[in-house]
Structure 1
Amino acid sequence: MPKTPDTALADPQRALADPKRWKALVFIALAQLMVVLDATIVNIALPTAQQDLGISDGNRQWVITAYALAFGGLLLFGGRIADLWGRKRTFIVGLAGFAVASALGGAATGEAMMLGSRALQGVFGALLAPAALSLLAVMFTDAKERAKAFGIYGAIAGGGGAVGLILGGFLTEYLNWRWTFYVNIPFAIVAAVGAYLVIREPESARNRSSLDVPGVILSTLGLVALVYGFTRAEHAGWSDGLTVGMFIASAVLLAAFVVTESKVKAPLLPLRVLTERNRAGVYLSLGLAVIGMFGLFLFLTFYLQVVREYSPVMTGFAFMPMIVGMIVGSTQIGTRLMTRVPPRLLMTPGFLLAAVGMLMLTQLDLNTSYAGLIMPAQLLLGLGMGTAFMPAMSLATHGVNPADSGVASAMVNTSQQVGGAIGTALLNTIAASATTSYVAARAATAGDAKVLALEGMVHGFTSAIWWAVGILVIAAAIAFTFINTGRPDMSGGTGAGEDAEDEVRIPVVAH
C-alpha cells in the first residue's frame, strides 16, 4: 500500500534520530532537577541564612523575589537566545553561570552578596530552562519516544520541588545552610560536561533571524512589573500605591509588547506561538495549576513545622507521597496513555484529581492525622498533577516551527514562574487576612493565646486552600475547552497499515 505524505515525512526523521538522545535526556533532566530544586531548597534554609547574614525581616522576601524577578522576567529572552544562538550552547552557558552564581550564594558574607547571587541565578536559570525543554522537542521526533522523554521530564518538573524540601532539610539540619547553594555545583558540572559530550542539536532547528531588542525590553520590564506587583501585594497589601502602579505598568508594557510583536519582522515571541489554541490552553491551565501548587507547598511546610512541630528533615519526608504520586502519574499513567487518548482527556481528569486532593486538605485542623488525611491527599495531588504535567510539557511545543521551539518552551516556563509568584502572593494574602479575622473575632473569649494563634493560622491555610481548589477546577475547564488536538496517531493514518500508525506520530513539524 502506498505511503501517506505524513509517513514519508516520518521515515527519514526516524532514521536520522540522534543515537545519543537518551543519554542526552539524562543530562537535560539533571539540569531541570537542579533548577526546580533551587526553587524550594532555599525556602528551608532561609531562616538560618537570614540570621547568619543579618538580613532584616523586611528584606528577607528578596532572597526569593530576586530570583523570581530575574527568572520570570528574562525567560522569553532566554528562549529566543536559545533559538538564535543554539540550544546546546545556551544550555551549557546557563549551567556554568548557574554554578558560579550558586558558589557566590554559598560564600555570601552579607545581604547584598546574597541578593545579587540570587538574581544572577535567576538570569542563568532563564537561559537554561527553555533551552532544556526545547532540546527535548527537537531531539525526540518519534511520538512514542517523546511521550517517554516528556514523562521523565514532567515527573522531575513536578516532583523536584518536593525533593528540594527533603534535601534542604537534610543540608540545613546536618551540615549548613550554605550547602543548599553549593549542592547545585556538582549538578551543573555533571550536566554541562555530559551535554557537551552527547548532545547533538539538529542544525535545521536553528533560527537565523535577528534579535528583537524592543520586544526584549518590553517583555522583561512587563513581566518583572507583574511578578513584583504580586510579591509586593503579599506584604504591602493590594491597595498599596506601588502595588497598583506595578500592575498598571505591567498591563501597559505587555500591551505595548503585543503590539510590537505584531509589527516587527523578527519578533521575540511570534504571536503564532500564542494564538494556536492548544498551546494557549497549556500555558493558561498550567499557570493556574501552579498557582494552587505553590501555595500548598508553603502552607503544608508551615503547618508541619509550626503546628505539628516537625523537624526540617521530617517535613521534607512528609512530602514523599506527593513525589511518588507525581512520578507514577507522569511516567506510568501519562506516558502510557499519551499516544492512545487525546491530551485533554489526561489533563482535565489530572487537574480534577489534584483538586480532590486539595479539597481533602481543607479539613486540616490542629490534630489532623498525617496517615488518615495528609498522605492520601498528597497522593491524589501528585497523581493528578503528574498525569496532567506530562502532556502539558509535550504540548508546549505542539505544532510549532522547530525554529520557534525555544521561545515556545520559554512560554510554558514563564506561565509556571508567573503562576508561582501569583500563587504565593495571592494565597498568602488570603490566608493572612482570614487568620487576622479569625483571631480578632475570638480574642476576647479565648483561653490560650498560643492555641488561638495556631487555630487562626490553620483557619487561614484552609481558607486559602479552598481558593486553590477552585483555581484547579478552572484549570481543568480551560484544558478541556481549549485543547482539542487528538492523539498523535489520529492525523494521517489513512490505511497505511499498523507500522504507519507509529510512523505518523510526529508532533513537531515545520510549517
Structure 2
Amino acid sequence: MTEIAATDRAAARRLVLPLALAQFIASYAATNMNVAISDIAHDLDTTISALQTTITLFTLTMAALMIPGSKLTDIWGRKRCFLLGLVVYGAGGLLATLAWGIGALMVGYSLLEGVGSALMIPPIYILITVAFDDVRTRARYFGVVSGAAGLGAATGPLLGGFLTSALSWRASFLGQVLVVAWVLLLARKITDRPREGAAVPGFDVLGAVLSGAAMVCLVLGFLSTSTYGWLTASKDLDVGGRTVIPEGSLAPVWWLLLAGAGLVLWFFLHVRRGERSGREVLLRLRLFRNRTANLGLGTQLAQWLTMQGSFFVISVFLQDARDFSAIETGLMLTPATAGILIAAARAERMAQRLSQRSLVVAGFACTALGMALLLALVRSDSGFWSFLPGLLLMGLGLGVMLTASVNVVQSSFPDSDQGDISGLSRSLSNLGSSLGVAIAGSVLVAAQTRAGHPFGVALGVLTGFALLGLLLAWLIPRDSPAGRLPDRA
C-alpha cells in the first residue's frame, strides 16, 4: 500500500511540477517589469506611461484571450494547448530580450507572452482538477500551483530587480525563455485524461471576439484617464488625424466603458441565441447561475486587482519618490514575498482545519489590514521597518486566499465544465491584474495634479477594493464547495 501511495505521489509530482513552473513564470512576468521601469525607459528611450501601458496590455491580452484559450483545450486537447502556449510564450520572451524599441517590446511581451499565457494557463487548472477527484488532494495541488502564482508575482520585483541591477532587464526575459524550455522538457511526461462528455463541434468565433473586445474597452477606458482625465477630456482625442473627442467634452473613459457594457450585453444575447439553436457557444449561461462560483470569481478579480495594483504603486513610489534602484525596490518588497511563501506552505493544513470561505475572508481581512498599516506608517523618508508589518500582512493575506478562491470556483462544477470555468476564472483574474495597474496609474496621475499625496491616494483606493473583496467573500454560502474539506483518511 505504501509503495502504491509512493508511486501515486511520484506521478502527481511529474504532473504538477511543470504546471507550477509555467504558472510561476507567467505570474513573474506580470510584476518583474515594475522594478525595471526606469532602466527600460532609459534604454529604449521611452516613457514610464508607455511602460505602464505595456504592462497593462500584457495582462489584458491574457484576460481577453483566456476564455477562447480555455475553449481550445476542449477542441485541441489540454496537453497540446499547454505545449503550444509554452512555445508562443518562449518566442515572445526571446523577442522581448532582443527588443530595440517599445514597439518590439510590446509585441514580444504584451502580445506573444500574453497569447502564450492564455493558451497554457487554463490547462494547468483543468489538468489538476480532472486528475484528482478528492477535494482535499485537489486543494493540496491547487495550493502548489496557486502558491507558484503568488510566488512568481511576489518574487518578480526581487528577482527582476537583481537581474536588472546585476546584468540587464533583458536578462529577466532571457531567464523566462530558459525556464520555458525546461518546462517543455518536463511536460512531455504529462498524461492528459480523456475529456468527459460529447466532443466539442466547433469554436464560437463571434463570442470570442465580443468577449475579448469588451475587456479591451473596459481596461483601455481606465488607462485613458491617465492622459484624458476622468470627467471631461483634458485635451483633444485624435484618431487618424481627426478629432474624435474634443477637449472639454465627456472624457473617453465613459465612452469606452459604455462600449464595453454594450459588447457584454451583445455577448450574452449571442450566447443565449446560440444555446437555444443548439450551436456551440464560448461559455454556457449556466455557469453564471452558480452563486458560489460567481462570488468566488468576484473575489479572484478583487484579489488580483489589489495585488498587482499595490505592487505597481509601491514600486513606482520607491523608484520615483525614493530614487531606489531595481534591486533595492525588490528587496524592500521581500516581506510580501515571505508572507506569500509562508501561507502557500501551509495551504493544505489550513484547508483541513478551516473552510475555503473562511480562508478567503481571512485573506482579504489580513490584506486590507496590511494596506492600512502601510498608509499609517510609511512616509517619503520612512525606512525598511515601517514597510515590514504592512507588506508581511499583505503577503500572508494574499497567500491564504489565492488557493482557497480557486478551489471554491473550480470545485463548483463537474469535469465536463472545467474547460469553460477555468478559462472564465483565469480571465477574470487577469482582468483584475490589468485593472489594478490601469486604475492605480490613473489615480497616481490624477492625485499628482490635483490633490497631492498620489501614492497614498492610490493605495487608499486599492484598499477599498480589498474591502469589497472581503464583502464578496463573506457572502459566499457556508454550505457550498467552500465548506470544510474532508479529513485525511
Q: SS at the partner of 1:350?
A: helix
Q: 1:225 to 1:105 in 2, by over 3 A?
A: same
- Which residue of the other structure, out of 151, 172, 195, is the alignment partner of 2:164? 172
1:251 CA drift (Å):
0.6
- Which residue of the other structure, out of 209, 212, 219, is the alignment partner of 2:211? 219
- Which residue of the other structure, out of 287, 292, 312, is the alignment partner of 1:278? 292
Report what 2:144 is aligned to: 152
Q: SS at the partner of 2:224?
A: helix
Alignment of 1:465-480 (within 5 A): 465-480=459-474
Q: SS at the partner of 2:79?
A: helix
Question: Is 1:402 aligned to 2:415, yes or no?
Answer: yes
8 Å contact kept, 1:343–1:486: no
Q: SS at the partner of 1:203?
A: coil
1:30 CA drift (Å):
0.3
- Report the TM-score when normalising by structure 1: 0.84
1:488 CA drift (Å):
7.6
Code of the aligned partner of 1:127? L
1:487 CA drift (Å):
6.4
Question: Is 1:124 aligned to 2:124, yes or no?
Answer: no
Question: Is 1:247 aligned to 2:257, yes or no?
Answer: yes
Report what 2:384 is aligned to: 370
Question: Is 1:428 aligned to 2:441, yes or no?
Answer: yes
Q: SS at the partner of 2:32?
A: helix
Deviates more, 1:424-433 or 1:215-224: 424-433
Alignment of 1:47-196 (within 5 A): 47-55=38-46, 59-118=50-109, 119-196=111-188
Question: Is 1:231 aligned to 2:244, yes or no?
Answer: no
Report what 1:34 is aligned to: 25
8 Å contact kept, 1:98–1:121: yes
Report what 1:342 is aligned to: 355
Report what 2:335 is aligned to: 321
Write out per-residue CA displacement over residues 240-297 of structure 1, whole angstroms, 9 at most, x where no aligned residue.
4433222111111111111222231322111222221111111111212222222211
Write out per-residue CA displacement over residues 138-197 of structure 1, whole angstroms, 9 at most, x where no aligned residue.
122222221211112222222311211112112211112221211111111111111112
Q: 1:116 to 1:216 in 2, by over 3 A?
A: same
8 Å contact kept, 1:356–1:380: yes
Question: Is 1:305 aligned to 2:345, yes or no?
Answer: no
Report what 2:307 is aligned to: 293
8 Å contact kept, 2:56–2:438: no
CA distance in 1, matches of 2:160, 2:145: 21
- Identity level (%): 27
Code of the aligned partner of 1:145? T
CA distance in 1, matches of 2:56, 2:332: 26
CA distance in 2, matches of 1:400, 1:55: 46
Code of the aligned partner of 2:128? L
8 Å contact kept, 2:300–2:406: no
Write out per-residue CA displacement over residues 31-75 of structure 1, whole angstroms, 9 at most, x where no aligned residue.
001101111122333333333333356644442243233222111
Q: 1:217 to 1:63 in 2, by over 3 A?
A: same
Write out per-residue CA displacement over residues 444-486 of structure 1, whole angstroms, 9 at most, x where no aligned residue.
xxxxxxxxxxxx4xx2212222222222122111111134344
- Which residue of the other structure, out of 201, 215, 223, is the alignment partner of 2:192? 201
Q: SS at the partner of 2:183?
A: helix
Deviates more, 1:393-402 or 1:277-286: 393-402
1:367 CA drift (Å):
2.6
The structure that has the greater radius of gyration is 1
Alignment of 1:432-447 (within 5 A): 432-438=445-451
Deviates more, 1:460-469 or 1:186-195: 460-469
1:18 CA drift (Å):
8.8
CA distance in 1, matches of 2:172, 2:483: 45
1:19 CA drift (Å):
6.0
Report what 1:8 is aligned to: none
Code of the aligned partner of 2:271? E
Q: SS at the partner of 2:120?
A: helix
CA distance in 1, matches of 2:432, 2:371: 17
1:20 CA drift (Å):
1.5
- Which residue of the other structure, out of 272, 281, 293, is the alignment partner of 1:267? 281
Code of the aligned partner of 1:462? G
Q: SS at the partner of 1:229?
A: helix
Q: What's the RMSD between the two structures over aligned residues?
A: 2.5
The number of equivalent residue pairs is 460
Report what 1:443 is aligned to: none
Code of the aligned partner of 1:148? R
- Report the TM-score when normalising by structure 2: 0.88
**Gap runs ≥5 in structure 2:** 234-250
8 Å contact kept, 2:126–2:418: yes
Q: SS at the partner of 1:396?
A: helix
Q: SS at the partner of 2:380?
A: coil
1:302 CA drift (Å):
2.4
1:81 CA drift (Å):
0.8
CA distance in 1, matches of 2:225, 2:483: 47
Report what 1:6 is aligned to: none
8 Å contact kept, 1:301–1:315: yes
Report what 2:238 is aligned to: none
CA distance in 1, matches of 2:463, 2:213: 31
1:326 CA drift (Å):
1.1
Code of the aligned partner of 1:251? A
Q: SS at the partner of 2:381?
A: coil
Code of the aligned partner of 1:410? G
- Which residue of the other structure, out of 369, 374, 377, is the alignment partner of 1:356? 369
Q: SS at the partner of 1:25?
A: helix
**Gap runs ≥5 in structure 1:** 1-13, 439-455, 492-499, 504-511
Deviates more, 1:74-83 or 1:292-301: 292-301
